[in-house]
Structure 1
Amino acid sequence: MYNTLFTLVFAIVGISATFMPWVHYPMGNSSLYGYVGDGILTGVLFLFIALFSLKSLMSKKIIIWETIVVVVLSLLLVYIGYQKITNLEIEKTTFNTDNILIARSAVGFTQGVGLYVLLMAAVSAFLLSLVRLFSKRDGLLVSFKPFTFNAGLSLFIALAIPATFYLVYNKAQFSVMPERSEIERIFSDDIASMGKCLAEGDYACITKLTHPAIVQSLGGTQKMDDMVKDAIVGMKKENIIFKSAQFSGIDQIETQGNNIQAIISQTLIFANNNQKGEEKQKMLAISEDKGKTWHYLSLQGMDRSQLKKIYPSLNDNLNF
């Protein structure tokens, strides 16, 4: 009955996710807890799984229809947990509001630990209940032989699934950090790409490479696009035509776990009354997956305290 016992344990863990943070807002160091929203529903579903598991343990019997109900409930919980996590990930770039106070308070929001605990418990309960269903003697399907395979597989699930989610939640990366020359190549390509996008009026391209924290602080993607568009239109009214942007070098780079932050320089090239002009600017480049993807934000007219409000995870070792 190890399988049923493990299922009961994960059901209890799933219930506890209701009282954990589901969304974290670093700006005010505040969180939205599961019980404020759908956590009540998921808690009730896990409660049913726990009751069925407890009943099975006490009676020392596995009833097919009860196991099927647990499979269905846990699968539903997997769907809910997955949807919550992915929807929040999408909302990081599609977030939109006209209220500047809401925009500023929501800057940098991330999925809370409760959502990952919810999904971990649901996946574990689902797999364990499937094993129980398939290995039931005289059940719907052929039983495993020897019967100890059930206990071994259940133990593997009970250990492997939480370990996997722990690595995912902590964004474990098994790849090495790219060489400095490779990072410089990426910066050069991205800066040139942003310059081309500005010159061609492709504002969505600029927003895509801008760090989500900046986009959120401005009220969303559309607000960001409008701001860039207004800036370009304003330059044209003053007979300033943007031409291109060039990467000028890395001033400082700091690494902490999977997070890499670098202060870089870029040169903006423009034409003013048919005369070529240049302007050097500082930018902060951020990668949160050990250099696989990068986002940028301008440091023009911004000091450390202002940047901290927009990006609370700013590396303390960076100097600017």
Structure 2
Amino acid sequence: MKQITQFLLFTLFAGTCFAQAQPASDYGQTIKKQAETMGQSLLKKDFNTFVQFAHPSILTMAGGKQKMIEGLTQGMKAMETQGGGILNVAVGEPSTILTTKDGLQCTLPQVIDLKVPNGKLVSKSTLIAVSTDKGSNWYFIDTSGKDLATMQKVIPSLSSELVIPPAEEPKFQSN
């Protein structure tokens, strides 16, 4: 179950640059709306929509869109077979937007409630949001408790100015 949970969290949503900060309010509504759409598509098991928000590097690591969809489908079925599932996905407000040579970047908090036998797990994580088209469309990478240096190994273009808070252990809440 832990491996399935980690896989799902990592796929949710995986910086050398000349960063300039810009208030999140300029892009905040778009980022939050698109992150919420991504979360709702996961809840609805609409993986075709979900993968549209996956960063291209994460899609490549997963073997492409179709392989990622297959992995998500299998992971969700396995979780449900064990009595689990995703109950809710919520995102918070985006951080300050950084302008890099590759586009725009920021982070935002995410909370996922997972159904587990005898209760639920509340998992807090950080999403990295990346736009390569001046803020119209955003890709999201769930840090899954990984620090920035680890994330930069997967996506070297991530800004060193992004702030990823330390990981929190998921909290169990009994029924």
TM normalised by structure 1 equals: 0.40
**Aligned-residue offset at 1:181:** 2.7
Task: Give, in whole Å, the separation in 2 of the partners of 1:306 and 1:258.
Answer: 19
Paired position in structure 2 for 1:263: 107
Work out whether residues 188 and 247 of structure 1, in 8 Å CA contact, stay in contact via their aligned partners in 2: yes
Paired position in structure 2 for 1:12: none
1:272 partner amino acid: V
What is the aligned-residue identity percentage?
24
Paired position in structure 1 for 2:150: 306
1:213 partner amino acid: S
Paired position in structure 1 for 2:98: 254
Paired position in structure 2 for 1:192: 36
Of structures 1 and 2, the one with the larger relative CO (CA 8 A, separation 6+) is 2
Call closer, same or farther: CA 1:186–1:178 in 2, change over 3 Å.
Answer: farther
Corresponding residue SS for 1:229: helix
Aligned length, in residue pairs: 144
Alignment deviations for residues 271-307 of structure 1 (CA, whole Å, 9 cap, x no partner) = 3347454221111100112211110111114333432
**Aligned-residue offset at 1:221:** 1.1
2:88 maps to 1:244: yes
2:52 maps to 1:208: yes
Task: Give, in whole Å, the separation in 2 of the partners of 1:185 and 1:274.
Answer: 36
2:143 partner amino acid: L
Task: Give, in whole Å, the separation in 2 of the partners of 1:290 and 1:258.
Answer: 10
Work out whether residues 22 and 96 of structure 2, in 8 Å CA contact, stay in contact via their aligned partners in 1: no
Corresponding residue SS for 2:151: helix
2:114 partner amino acid: F
Task: Give, in whole Å, the separation in 2 of the partners of 1:311 and 1:248.
Answer: 23
Paired position in structure 1 for 2:77: 233
**Aligned-residue offset at 1:255:** 1.6
Q: Which one is further off, 206-215 or 245-254? A: 245-254
More helix by share: 1
2:68 maps to 1:224: yes
Higher-Rg structure is: 1
TM normalised by structure 2 equals: 0.70
**Structure 1 alignment gaps of length 5 or more:** 1-176
1:221 partner amino acid: K
**Aligned-residue offset at 1:251:** 4.1
Work out whether residues 258 and 289 of structure 1, in 8 Å CA contact, stay in contact via their aligned partners in 2: no
Q: What is the root-mean-square deviation of aligned Cα atoms in Å?
A: 2.5
Work out whether residues 187 and 247 of structure 1, in 8 Å CA contact, stay in contact via their aligned partners in 2: no
More strand by share: 2
Task: Give, in whole Å, the separation in 2 of the partners of 1:314 and 1:263.
Answer: 11
Work out whether residues 282 and 299 of structure 1, in 8 Å CA contact, stay in contact via their aligned partners in 2: yes
Work out whether residues 266 and 282 of structure 1, in 8 Å CA contact, stay in contact via their aligned partners in 2: yes
